[in-house]
Chain A
Amino acid sequence: MSDIVDWTRATAAQMAAALQAGEITSVELTQAHLDRIAAVDTDVHAFLHVDTDGALATAREVDAARAAGESLPPLAGVPIAIKDILVTEGLPTTAGSRILEGWVPPYDATVTRKIREARMPILGKTNMDEFAMGSSTEHSGYGPTRNPWDLDRIPGGSGGGSAASLAAWEAPLAIGSDTGGSIRQPASVTGTVGVKPTYGGVSRYGAIALASSLDQLGPCARTVEDAAYLHEVMGGHDPMDATSLNEPVPSCVEAARQGREQDLTGVRIGVIKELSGEGYQAGVEQRFEESLEKLKTLGATVVEVSCPSFTYALAAYYLILPSEASSNLAKFDSVRFGMRVEKATIEKTMGATRAEGFGDEVKRRIILGTYALSAGYYDAYYGSAQKVRTLIQRDFAAAFEQADVLVSPTTPTTPFKLGERIDDPLAMYLNDVATIPANLAGIPGMSLPSGTAPEDGLPTGFQILAPAHEDARMYRIGAALEKALAEEWGGPLASQAPELEVAE
């Protein structure tokens, strides 16, 4: 492996192996990523905060521990980027909002703690749509992130910063959060891998809540195997999160290994009829079909399934999410933390702070949610939306009778241009049409690259959905497809991205 010249281009698994073999130190690896961030992040703007000193301090500790012969966790010394939605003790955390500018949390999220216990240097906090509301990162209070494939295009959202940091070789791994597609959609449009685990599979404690019944943290990586390693670090029961599943972490790494053996004999793949056709870009559908063919050559059978209630998914989602968000975001009231715009009375202070601190998209959703929960409207809106949720769960249950996993394109289109949909919330919301059903049902989903669209040369994504608790299935099938595609491409898709200009 010593033929690797630029370690930022390696996979996390390769980095971990090289660290264990003593071919490289964590300080060298971490510094290489910090240098890359310094070189390209002015353009990409994946990071809101870079913790050079903290990352290098962790790296030094890991190197010292390794030199002393201590036994270390598998990813010890491999650097990581964390979406700014996760609280990090001692590191600024804003969730992309001005209302939290300068706030330094006094505690760690459970996942942050697990990352620290895994001895992974934290490079910094990645940009996101404010409070994870958006599909383009344009709604960040601190300016948009740009897609490394084309700096004029969106990197997806809300986790555009995490996905872009991977595509720009600024970090080998990142943490994301997925409420309606905020891990999978950015992965799709940046040619990377993103996984939303089963609801409850990863603790939400310390993840700033958008919509509690939909939010789930998950791994972002450039390969399925790397995502599997990170998934196993993040996952597991947490007594601090009442909705956390009390069951062992799925064997994602082992499943990915099995997948690379390229034998999918007997695996039934269900194509969701409703997630194709109108609104889907030709190149996106073409790459999706080609991926299906690849899966067939590996022995899988492909069937078509129907999920008729998906028609209502977007509408239900845009009632449930704003409703829960309107309540979750009430705490940003200036009293205990964050921004305060001082006025004569506390009511006016709260109002003025929220008026100044929140961006337009956040206000839009708070207003929507406040109406949807109001007396007299609750049954028609929130109540009905919850019923749709039940219907969608039934659709999935029926579909999983016919197939082991369900698949679709992750997003209907390749990344659009910055500013193109900023004034058209509905067009923006349609971006998540294929990813939202998994959140409404609580099932796991993965997006991995299926290629680039012939018409624009931009990445397209392939989504795999599995029944709840069966996260490992996605890793097996994803790894199998990834290997088959990489053989055809002559390497990972990310390597096809144009080189970014490097600042001196």
Chain B
Amino acid sequence: MSTMTYEQAMEQFDPVFGIEVHVELNTATKMFCGCANEFGAEPNTQVCPVCLGLPGSMPVTNQKAVESAIRLGLSLGCQIRESSRFARKNYFYPDLAKDYQISQYDEPTCFEGSLDVVLDDGTVVTVGIERAHMEEDAGKNTHVGGTGGIQGASHSLVDYNRGGVPLVEIVTKPITGAGARTAEVARAYVATIRDIVKALGISDGRMEQGSVRADVNLSLRPKAAAGEDQDAVPFGKRSETKNVNSLRAIERAIHHEAARQAELLLAGQPVIQETRHWHEDTGSTTPGRSKEEAEDYRYFPEPDLLPVEPSREWVEELRGTLPEHPAKMRARLKEQWGFSDTDMRDAVNADALDLIAASVEAGAKPQAARKWWMGELARTANDRDVPLRDLPVTPEHVAELQSLVDAGTINDKLARQALEGVLAGEGSPREVVESRGLEVVSDDSALEAAVDEALAAQPDVLAKIQDGKIQAAGAIVGAVMKATRGQADAGRVREIILQRAGVEG
């Protein structure tokens, strides 16, 4: 186990990193066949001769996927190649139906881009994009028996539903100069990609379902001596950590790898250039295949497909459909909504920005929308261990709930109960308020009776109020609220108490 910390590693070494992000596109059908592209169906129900790789079958390119890839490429500032090709990446693996993956190799559709990433403190880091290319996903192996891994399993099952799902792989150029902020930059970069694909509407951007996945390359090199150029120091050997599938995990994986490599280097041992697997539970990586024994993928142009040749007119037309950059959009929303830096950061980190925006769109005030999503709902999501957006609550519900509060129909406490009902699937906030009888008691005669009863029960308090100690009225308000099970309007109750006591508020 590493005794080195990330901070210690950063004091002694200069990190260089790169990230490969795989984005699963949300096209209706798969990359090269007509099967549905949906998550979570029964195994091997979304398959056909093409994505099962049956003898004789042939791929046909999904034009919607090409459109999505080009829009993504344009959002990353990439150039769009006038003619690009698919290639076959050959390797044997049971989840790869044809035993080759159709990908792009020497002629990716999108190349040479750059993306501005805004850190929490407003620092802007420009990340160079090497390429963004299209490919198909593989199926999924499940190992039965043993501990769930391939070691010790009695047999393995393959689900080809995911086989052929369209992916765009975005590869950065080596990123240097981030120093101790490397983990932060990496996280912000992936978050930005996630926000872009969601804003483009080309992917649901859900990291927990694997629709945005990251592989993190990291190497360390000695810090340049004072006065010398850090860029003149050659890169060290890198590791590639696969399948780092949450923003937090990206930071943790970089922390771990930097510390691990630093410890090796300081002990005079080499870093092996290899693929490593990320373990969420232990926060550590273990070696996979080392590059030395890595397979030769024998790439060659896919002869079953024609080149991708988007017309310039079409590319320009697509450029016209691009949404604003997430950082710009955030700055605009922050301004419009009057959020603090902290409000904004929390909302982004909770992946709640679009939920808040949709709630505002539905009529809620920005602060109210933030309060519900980042408070009660964030807590519930956390308790249930599900993403915020998977709660059975819509932005429209939140707007409706707040409108009921604003109209005085319910108070905050009742609103929380109404929300409980919504979360329990009892219907919309309005429906829950009705079915549970949650309206604020606004009938003065009922309130007066309750006040009289409370005052009669606590004559000493009445005396104090009449003596001018108006704050003592709180005890009576509490008693009335209790008696009405919280459904009274506390302000109105207070007015009645003062009235009855014969003093003016």
| Chain A interface residues (CB < 8 Å from chain B) | 86-87, 93, 95, 100, 103, 105-107, 109, 204-209, 211-213, 239-243, 323-324, 326-327, 330-333, 335-337, 346-347, 350, 370, 373-375, 378, 382
Bound-state CA distance A122–B303 (Å) is 30
* Contact status B56-A242, CB under 8 Å: no
Interface secondary structure of A, over-half rule: loop
Chain B contacts for A211, CB-based, 8 A: 303
Contact of B92 among A87, A206, A241, A330 (CB under 8 A): A330
Q: Does chain A have a CB within 8 A of B49?
A: yes
A471 to chain B, nearest CB (A): 21
* Contact status A107-B304, CB under 8 Å: no
Bound-state CA distance A336–B56 (Å) is 14
Bound-state CA distance A239–B32 (Å) is 12
Q: Which residues from 54 to 87 on chain B have a C-beta closer than 8 Å to any C-beta of chain A?
A: 54-61
* Contact status A335-B60, CB under 8 Å: no
Contact of B298 among A86, A213, A331, A370 (CB under 8 A): A370
Contact of A327 among B57, B59, B88, B306 (CB under 8 A): B88
Chain B contacts for A370, CB-based, 8 A: 298
Chain B contacts for A374, CB-based, 8 A: 296, 298
A-contact bits for B94-123, CB 8 A (1 contact / 0 none)? 100111100000000000000000000000
* Contact status B56-A323, CB under 8 Å: no
Can you list 14 A-B contacts (CB < 8 A)?
A87-B55, A106-B49, A206-B56, A208-B55, A209-B55, A240-B60, A242-B305, A242-B306, A243-B303, A326-B298, A327-B100, A331-B97, A346-B94, A375-B296
Chain A contacts for B300, CB-based, 8 A: 323-324, 327, 373, 378, 382
Chain B contacts for A204, CB-based, 8 A: 58
Q: Does chain A have a CB within 8 A of B210?
A: no
Given A204-B58, A337-B54, are A331 and B49 neighbors across the interface (CB < 8 Å)?
Answer: no
Contact of B53 among A206, A336, A347 (CB under 8 A): A336
Contact of A107 among B49, B90, B99, B305 (CB under 8 A): B49
Interface size (B, Cβ < 8 Å)? 29
Chain A contacts for B298, CB-based, 8 A: 326-327, 370, 373-375, 378
Contact of B59 among A208, A213, A239, A242 (CB under 8 A): A242
Contact of A337 among B55, B98, B304 (CB under 8 A): B55
A-contact bits for B295-335, CB 8 A (1 contact / 0 none)? 01011100111100000000000000000000000000000
Given A330-B90, A375-B296, are A209 and B56 neighbors across the interface (CB < 8 Å)?
Answer: yes
Contact of A205 among B56, B158, B299 (CB under 8 A): B56
CB nearest to A214 among chain B residues: B303
Q: Does chain A have a CB within 8 A of B258?
A: no
Chain A contacts for B92, CB-based, 8 A: 330, 333, 347, 350
A207 to chain B, nearest CB (A): 6
Q: Does chain A have a CB within 8 A of B458?
A: no
Chain A contacts for B306, CB-based, 8 A: 242-243
Chain A contacts for B299, CB-based, 8 A: 373, 378
Bound-state CA distance A323–B61 (Å) is 23
Identify which of B54, B58, B296, B306 gathers the most chain A CB atoms within 10 Å of its CB.
B58
Identify which of B97, B296, B299 gathers the most chain A CB atoms within 10 Å of its CB.
B296
Bound-state CA distance A335–B161 (Å) is 16
Given A337-B54, A373-B298, are A331 and B60 neighbors across the interface (CB < 8 Å)?
Answer: no
Bound-state CA distance A223–B59 (Å) is 35
Q: What are the nearest 9 A-B pairs in CB distance?
A: A330-B99, A373-B298, A212-B303, A213-B303, A206-B56, A87-B56, A208-B55, A331-B53, A375-B296
* Contact status A86-B56, CB under 8 Å: yes
B503 to chain A, nearest CB (A): 86
* Contact status B54-A327, CB under 8 Å: no
A363 to chain B, nearest CB (A): 16
A106 to chain B, nearest CB (A): 7
* Contact status A242-B100, CB under 8 Å: no
* Contact status B55-A331, CB under 8 Å: yes
* Contact status B304-A346, CB under 8 Å: no
B33 to chain A, nearest CB (A): 9
Chain B contacts for A107, CB-based, 8 A: 49, 54, 57
* Contact status B55-A243, CB under 8 Å: no
Identify which of B56, B97, B156, B305 gathers the most chain A CB atoms within 10 Å of its CB.
B56
Chain B contacts for A207, CB-based, 8 A: 56
Given A331-B99, A374-B298, are A105 and B55 neighbors across the interface (CB < 8 Å)?
Answer: yes
B49 to chain A, nearest CB (A): 5
Q: Beyond the given A105-B56, A106-B49, A243-B304, could you list 9 further A-B residue pairs with CB under 8 A, ordered by the A residue number? A: A93-B55, A106-B54, A209-B56, A242-B304, A330-B98, A331-B55, A336-B97, A337-B54, A337-B55
Chain B contacts for A106, CB-based, 8 A: 49, 54
Bound-state CA distance A243–B86 (Å) is 13
Q: Does chain A have a CB within 8 A of B52?
A: yes
* Contact status A212-B56, CB under 8 Å: no
Given A107-B49, A336-B97, are A324 and B56 neighbors across the interface (CB < 8 Å)?
Answer: no
A383 to chain B, nearest CB (A): 9
* Contact status A335-B158, CB under 8 Å: yes
Bound-state CA distance A303–B227 (Å) is 78
Bound-state CA distance A208–B58 (Å) is 10
* Contact status B303-A336, CB under 8 Å: no
Chain B contacts for A337, CB-based, 8 A: 54-55
CB nearest to B141 among chain A residues: A346
CB nearest to A369 among chain B residues: B298
Chain B contacts for A86, CB-based, 8 A: 56
Given A242-B306, A346-B156, A370-B298, are A105 and B100 neighbors across the interface (CB < 8 Å)?
Answer: no
Bound-state CA distance A205–B57 (Å) is 6
* Contact status A241-B100, CB under 8 Å: no
Chain A contacts for B90, CB-based, 8 A: 326-327, 330, 373
